[in-house]
Structures are given as structure tokens and as C-alpha cells.
Amino acid sequence: MKQKLFKRVMAIALAGTMILSMCACGSEGGGESASEDKSTEGDASSVEESAASEEESASQEEEADDGASGELSWLNSSQELPIVAEGTEKTLSLYIYGNENGPDPEEVWMYKFIEGAMNINLEVTKFTASNRDEFLSMAFSSGELPDIIIGGEFDAATLVKYGEVEEQIMDLAPYLKYMPNLTSIYEKYPDYKSAVMDAQGRMWSTGQIVDVAYLGGISRMFLNYDWLEKCGKEVPTTLDEFVDVLQAFKAMDEKCWPVGGSYEYYSPMQYILNAFGYMTNNAKGTEIVLRDGEVVLPVADREVYGEVLKFMKQLYDEKLIHPDFFTMDRDAAGALVKQGLVGFNQSDYLIEDESFRQYWGAIPLTSQWNDEARWPAKMTQLSCGGAVVSSDCEEPELAATFLDFWYTFHNSWLTVIGPSVAEEGDYLYDVSGYVVDEPGNSVTVRYLDMEKEDCPYASNGEYFEDKVQLWVRVIGTRIPDGSGSVCGFYQDEGPVDLSKYTAPYLSDLRFDKDVCQTIDYHYMDAIAYTQLPLTTSEDMYPGQVYLDADTAVEAGNLLVMIQEYAAKETAKFVTGARSLDELDAYFDELDALGAQDYIQIYREYYEGLQAQQ
């Protein structure tokens, strides 16, 4: 059963080490390429020197041409290790984010794997969580940068600063031809490129690539299925049906609050905004999103947001939400769930007894403003800034190829848990590797070194942090690509017989204690069979936005005013303190605060990205 995998250590059934190697960077000889003519006689005439210079220039141009086709003389282009041909010296200098109390980089398996199996010499300097900011600030201010920085956690604004403004890091877009793994991912998931590529088509970094529709990351909404059965209602799939169910809940028990949460905590408004067509993970409507493919800011959207306010006022007037909806704190909102007074609930893990089984996944709704039930993926799960290549790197082809190596599922997990015993013996070096045990339905990793009598490690975690990892995982991919089995946070081990459960939402599965054994398993299954099948990244605004410094400041200042005003007026409209007849005036007032200017910044950025597709 897949539920047993929820807390397991990630494992990989490895079929063999693969690499796509294209070109190279960072030679020890001061950046001179292997094909350059280094022999120039000191007493040659000026004519001969000129001729030699022209010959050297031609040689460099020829090598550049060869690099574009993947035919550098020192490159093993067979897509097998090593990256750099035997007998050729190539070096990469790295600044890496490592474990606080970890050993020297030279002592870990990954360092030896890179030097031995890839045939790349390393010069590694480690920084940690405690000194990262100071370390990197000094590095950039002094201009003393390595070829690659891994784990700097640079956000989009910082990347623009160091890339576009200061020109200290390199645009990797021209080197994507040396990055076939990333290119393949971007071809399959074109929306994913927006996390690292700006509207001008520049790529300042790489990051972690995950499935943005990943079960463990998507937003969750839950409905009280026990109450549905008592009221004789079906699971609502439209906005009108949802209201009908809420009204039935209230009629069943006047003391209940059919919609739980508050404006600030456990808010249900993301679910409602989604029903009106906004593909958003933001409950307040104050983030730029797409609606029908158009760039909008929900709270400033004249066409639809007024209808949202009317809907919320209906809930308020009919006491389907709490009268303190706009003022309740976290404890008060959570207490309603714990007391069993809530029919629709954004929160989980608030109930500690068996009554958690009353909740199951809610279904994304359609409405007259939204004709397709879809649930938004979380684009912010795609990170940027995991690795950058400095402008000082003399051979960026090697840097690009080296980084790209880690963007297969198999190779990505090498950086986390190391090699299995199934790896070729030459790649194990001074570790024994691991095997995957599958007793019953539980999958675990068993390191052979951990079974030795003199093993000093108390857990697998201690072992791979001390023996395997060179850097804390900030690059790579969790998307299965056929190079290893899917062993993650939550994943099917194999086919599960669901024939005894009632389709389409398998709500009776919630009572099966052999499957939904705990709150963890229960809530994950609830989403797996309701929201997950409808989760998509289509029509999602990018999670990372690369604005220049001046524009970013302008946008930030506008948003502060917009957020404050929209929250205040939303509360007034819903509670009746302000008449809905004044909606036009409200939108005019937002526009006067710069709402349309704010939207235009993000509209132009998005159009630039679309032009890159």
C-alpha cells in the first residue's frame, strides 16, 4: 500500500549511472583550451608573432565551433562517465552550502565520485547556514568568485542584481545546448522554465525541479462527508450546489458554521476564488494570477471580483460563515474545527481523535464564471538560485554540463542518499552503498556500512550527511524520468484494488483503517482521490518574477497600498458596512492607487515570457 510510504526514507532502484556530457570549463592552465597552440618562440619576429596570434585565434574559434556540436577533443560524448576524457586536466572551483557539522568536502563520497568518476578536479569551499549571508556578501563585494556557487538561495531580485546589473553571474541560456537533461524537462514542462528564465530569455541560475502538482504540496480543502450523508446531499461540484449544501448544514444544526476558518487563518476564500475562475493559491486575491488566460489581480478585477463579494456577503448574511470571520485569530478559527462545528474546512491535523474521519476532500467547483473544474498547482515549488555560474568561469560549457548531470531523477538522488550496491564497484569508493528492503509494504534504505560493528552513526540521516553529501540538496529534479524508481514522500507502490470503494471520490475509503491508518494517511488519500486528479499548472502565473530593481520597488510600493485598501473594503462589503452599490467606486479607488499600473507590470512581464516559448 502506498500509504506506508508517507514517512519512509527516499530510495532509488538504480539501473546504472548515466550522464549527458557535452563540453567543459575551468581548466587548471589559466583557461587555455586543450587544442590551443601554446608554443611561441620568445625570439620570433613581430610578423611571426602576429601569425602565431592569428593561428591561436583561429584555433580558439575552431574549438568553439566544435563545442557547439559536442566534439571537444577532451570530451567524452558517449553520455557515459567520465565527463572529461582520461589524460585531460579540468578543474571546477565551487562554493557550496554544506551541513554545519559535516566533514571536510574532500572526505565525502560525492567529492570522490566527481573527481574519480567524472574526472573533474575540484576546489571546494564550504559555507553553512550560520555564515551563508555574510560569506556570499563578502564574495560578491570582493569579486572573488568561484566557477559555481551551489546553495546560495538567491531569489529572483538578487539574481537580477548580480546578473543584469553587476554582471557577476552568467546567463546560462546560451549554454542550454550543453544541458540536455534540463532542456528535455523544459520541453516536456514548458511552464517550468519560467522559474529560472526571465522575460528577456536570460537564465541566471538553476534550482530544484519538482512536480508542481505534487500531492504533498498542493493546497487542501476538506468537506464534512458525515454531514453530507445526514443531509442526504451529494458532493457539490458547482458553486450553486455548494451553497445548497451549506444551507442544508445550517438547517441541520443552527449552532454550526458551515464554512470554517477566517480571513487570516484557515481561509476558505482560495476555494471560492477558484470557483470564480481564478487559478490561485492566494486566499485574499492580492497576488497576480491568470483568469481565462488573462493576467489579473483578483481584488481589482471589475469583471468578476464584485461577484465574489456578493457571494461572500450571502454567506455572511445567512450565517454560513462566522460573524467574526474578518477578525478571528488562529486559535479561535481552529477551535471551531476541534469542537466539531465546521462543515467545510481548509485546515487539517486540528482533530486528534477518530472524528478526523468525517472529513474528506472537497471538489474544485465550476460556476457561470468558470466552466472547468481545475485545482491550481503550486508554481512556487519550482525554485531558482540553487546554483549560479560566475562570470569569471573560463569554460562555462563544463559548468553547464556538470550542473546538468544532476537533473535526472537517478543522479539527483545520488546527491541525497548516495550510491546503491547496484552501482558499478568503481563508483562506490569508500562506501559500501545501500540496498532497498521491502518488508511487507514498507520500503526502507539499508546502508551496509551501518551494519558494521564499529559504525559510529545512529541513523541513516547521520550517515549520509557525514559520508555521502557534498552539498545540501538545492539542485536536481524529483520528476521521475525512467532512470530510477519513484521513491518519494508519497507514491504508489503498485496497483491498489479500489473496486470495493464507491466511485468517483472513494469517500468510503476514509473508514478503512487498514488503509487510512492515521491522520497523515487519511488526509493524503482524501486529496489524492478528489483534488489531485484536477490539479494542473496550465494557466498558472509564474512563481518567480525577474523584475529590475526600480520596477520591483515600484511594484512593491503599489502592492502595499492595494493590499491594505482591498482587505479593508472587502470586509466592509461582506459585512454590510459598505453597500454593494458602491462596487464601481471601489474599483475606481483601487485604480487611483495604481492597481492598473501594477497589473500592467506583470502583464508585460508575462507577455515577454510567452514570446520566449
pLDDT in tens, 494-506: 456 788 899 899 9
Cα separations (Å) of 571 from 263, 327, 577? 9, 10, 8
Please tell me what DSSP assigns to residue 169.
B
Q: Is the pLDDT of residue 454 over 50?
A: yes
Q: Is the pLDDT of residue 149 over 60?
A: yes
Nearest to 308 by CA among 363, 370, 236: 370
pLDDT of residue 90: 95
Percent share of the chain, pLDDT over 90: 66
Quick check: 320 and 246 in contact, CB under 8 A?
Answer: yes
Q: Taking the CA atoms of the chain, what radius of gyration do you get in angstroms?
A: 28
Mean pLDDT across 264-289: 97
d(CA 357, CA 335): 17
d(CA 208, CA 218): 17
| Distance of alpha carbon 316 from the chain centroid | 36
Nearest to 218 by CA among 391, 374, 77, 50: 374
d(CA 85, CA 92): 15
31 pLDDT band, cuts 50/70/90, is very low
pLDDT of residue 81: 86
Mind giving me the DSSP string for 216-272? TTS---EEEHHHHHHHT-PPP-BHHHHHHHHHHHHHH-TT-EEE---SSSS-SHHHH
With cell 574532500, the residue in question is 106
Q: Is the pLDDT of residue 281 over 90?
A: yes
pLDDT of residue 101: 84
Least confidently predicted of 9-13, 87-91, 151-155: 9-13
Cell of 119: 574526472
CB neighbours (10 Å) of residue 498? 12
pLDDT of residue 73: 77
531 pLDDT band, cuts 50/70/90, is very high
CB neighbours (10 Å) of residue 38? 9
Cell of 312: 461572500
At a CB cut-off of 8 Å and minimum separation 6, what does 144 contact?
none
d(CA 445, CA 458): 14
Domain 222-376+503-612 CATH (choose: 3.20.20.140, 3.40.190.10, 1.10.10.10, 3.40.50.2300): 3.40.190.10
Percent share of the chain, pLDDT over 70: 84
Same fold? 7-36+68-212+379-488, 222-376+503-612? yes
Least confidently predicted of 43-52, 304-313, 340-349: 43-52
Please tell me what DSSP assigns to residue 9.
P
Helix (H, G, I), strand (E, B) or coil at 1: coil
d(CA 35, CA 207): 33
Nearest to 363 by CA among 508, 222, 516: 222
pLDDT of residue 79: 59
Q: Is the pLDDT of residue 516 over 90?
A: no
74 pLDDT band, cuts 50/70/90, is confident
The pLDDT tens digits of the residues spanning 170-183 come to 999 999 988 999 99
444 pLDDT band, cuts 50/70/90, is confident
Q: Is the pLDDT of residue 52 over 80?
A: no
pLDDT of residue 515: 85
pLDDT of residue 371: 96
Domain boundaries, the chain: 7-36+68-212+379-488, 222-376+503-612
Least confidently predicted of 39-48, 245-254, 437-446: 39-48
Mean pLDDT across 522-551: 93
What is the CB-side half-sphere exposure of residue 92 using CA atoms within 13 A?
28
Domain 7-36+68-212+379-488, CATH: 3.40.190.10
pLDDT of residue 427: 85
d(CA 96, CA 151): 6
Higher-confidence residue of 500 and 493: namely 500
| Distance of alpha carbon 366 from the chain centroid | 27
- Hey, what amino acid is at 569? E
Q: What is the mean pLDDT of the chain?
A: 85
Cα separations (Å) of 204 from 71, 141, 172, 278, 590? 26, 18, 6, 30, 35
